[in-house]
Amino acid sequence: MRTIITFIIVFGVLVIVHEFGHFFFAKRAGILVREFSIGMGPKLLAHMGKDGTTYTLRLLPIGGYVRMAGLEDEETELNPGTPLSVELTSDNKVQRINVSKKIQLPNSIPLELVEADLTNTLTLTGYINGDERKAMTYAVEHDATVIEESGTEVRIAPKDVQFQSAKIGQRILTNFAGPMNNFLLTILLFIIMAFVQGGVPNYDTNQIGQVQADSPAAKAGIKSNAEILTINHQKVSNWDDLTSEIIKSPGKKVPMTIKQGGQQKKITVTPRTVESNGQKSGQIGIQAYMKTGLADKFAYGFTQTGNMFVQIFKALGGLFTGFSLNKLGGPVMMYKMSSEAASQGIITVISLMAFLSVNLGIVNLLPIPAFDGGKIVLNLIEAVRGKPLDPEKEGMITMAGFVFIMVLMILVTWNDIQRFFF
């Protein structure tokens, strides 16, 4: 249960923060966000805000999404012959359209649809009570709503509030905002982690931090804040010098020179043996020295995020030089990592969330159709050409990217299942 809750929180926060980036900048650009959903699947609650966005809470607590006018495949198809009902204003303009069988509008007029244009002319024509002798054409209000078959009520999407009507720079920023939010979240999470753990590890010194009780280091007489001068007769100047010698000496006696209490002394430590993924390594139970300054804690958010960028780009480069599904991970991998993090405490969970957040941001910026990066590339092509691509061609490119991602996700997920459960 702890693993499931951790997975839901981690995955949910990452996706919602990502989608909120798109939501916020779409609003600033004048693009109508028809729906902002927390969760997926069947709707539990819905509320239409004064801003025209319907906020929904859905059954499956994994992620969320935004529906921007003119950008997503519309769930509501008003085809000729569709039975519906309309609610009118005092001046006979349509203010609500109901195509759902789950909801009844008491003061509405039942129609069999002949045609509707809710994008340009904002008109709707239908036969009253299905009587083909009584066709009526109504003007539709700009901010009218439609109740979809699922029962969710959303605004209609006139041309002027659609995604493509925004300026090219605004569209690029809206597409970039999701990954940008993930990067900002990563910085914030590392800052929080620095405060929770009481400081920032300083790897550029030979001074150590805390020593675990009953550890090999404690039994050898090493105390917190001691300086490690030499190990295996090699001079130590930073954390990497120290740990590299210890890691390769499991179960072996390691001579050291330390300085503590203003005095130098020689000791011998025997690292305990730790096995991970079939590899044995040594540990002596010490932590890196912590910098506790306020500026250090805030700077940690930026430096660690930068380090993550470097590591991820190196990993992406490795995919091109030697592709393997084992280098990728999907929801199963995330669940496995959540399980391990949940068992190790809040700091590990925060670290995992930061790692996944920056990954989500970078991967979404890859120039693959259906990803934010692919959409930005199409925006840039439009800016250079001075006109957008043909909608049919753009749709085909996006669909090809979507199919590629779905096939890859299926392969990655199956590979993860094989790795972790068989």
Active-site position among 19, 35, 148, 153: 19
- Collapsed DSSP state (helix, strand, coil) of residue 419: helix
Give the 3-state secondary structure of 129-182.
CCCCCCEEEEEEEEEEEEECCCCCEEECCCHHHCHHHCCHHHHHHHHHHHHHHH
Residue where the block lists tokens 């909801």: 103
> Active-site residue 382, yes or no?
no
Amino acid at residue number 96: R
Q: 69-105: buried (b, 16+ CB within 10 Å) or exposed (e) per residue?
A: bbbeebebebeeeeebbbbbeeeeebebbbbbeeeee
Q: For residues 198 and 121, give the distance between their C-alpha atoms in angstroms, rounded to a whole number.
A: 62
Q: At 154, list the tokens.
A: 């959303």
Amino acid at residue number 73: D
- Name, in order, each residue with C-beta under 8 angstroms of 110's C-beta and a sequence gap of 6 or more: 83, 84, 85, 128, 129, 130
Q: At 6, list the tokens.
A: 């951790």
- CB count within 10 Å of CB 304 equals 23
Dihedral Cα 78, 84, 87, 93, nearest 10 deg:
40
Dihedral Cα 164, 170, 172, 173, nearest 10 deg:
-140
Q: 179: closest CA among 12, 348, 50, 22?
A: 22
**Secondary-structure percent of the chain, ordered helix, strand, coil, rounded to 5:** 45, 30, 30
Q: For residues 264 and 266, give the distance between their C-alpha atoms in angstroms, rounded to a whole number.
A: 7
Q: At 288, list the tokens.
A: 């890196």
Q: For residues 129 and 111, give the distance between their C-alpha atoms in angstroms, rounded to a whole number.
A: 5
DSSP 381-409: HHHHHTSPPPHHHHHHHHHHHHHHHHHHH
Query: H or E segment at 301?
Result: helix 294-321
> Which residues are known to be catalytic?
19
